[in-house]
Amino acid sequence: MSNQAAYAEIATALQPYFDGLYDGDVAQMRRIFHSSCRLFSAPDGVATDMDMETYYARVTDRRSPRSLNQARHDAIITIVASGEGGATAVLRTARAPRLYTDFLSLLRIDGRWQIVAKTYSWTTMPAG
């Protein structure tokens, strides 16, 4: 598979990620996340490590951006893919008041792209 074809395939595979976050829909998110994926961040310099079931519970328990009538800020900043079925994607998402940058590691497993690790950070959304 060429890098251009992999980019297009990964961009399409990431849509349930964007939609699941915006809608608060864990079923959509399960389509892209590998079950053993881990999520990492370091707010205030303190490392956090979360498993998928904890993350899914967090998504389920909070009001979704859609339910809050928030604007979408979904963006693919970059995708770097190798011919061996590995890729990294950098994305932008939001859930006010936070604007997130997500660094995703993906592998092509069983014929589909899956997120196997997520590192993320955030800033406060600019006013306006």
Nearest to 76 by CA among 95, 89, 86: 89
**pLDDT of 73 above 80:** yes
Half-sphere exposure of 4 (CA within 13 A, CB side): 0
CATH number for the domain harbouring residue 19: 3.10.450.50
**What is the CB neighbour count within 10 angstroms for residue 84?**
9
Region of poorest pLDDT, from 9-13, 28-32, 65-69, 124-128: 124-128
By residue range, what is the domain housing residue 69? Answer: 3-124
Q: How confident is the model at residue 127 (pLDDT cuts 50, 70, 90)?
A: confident
Phi, psi of 27, deg, nearest 5? -60, -40
Q: How confident is the model at residue 128 (pLDDT cuts 50, 70, 90)?
A: low
3-state secondary structure of 9: helix
Number of domains comprising the chain: 1
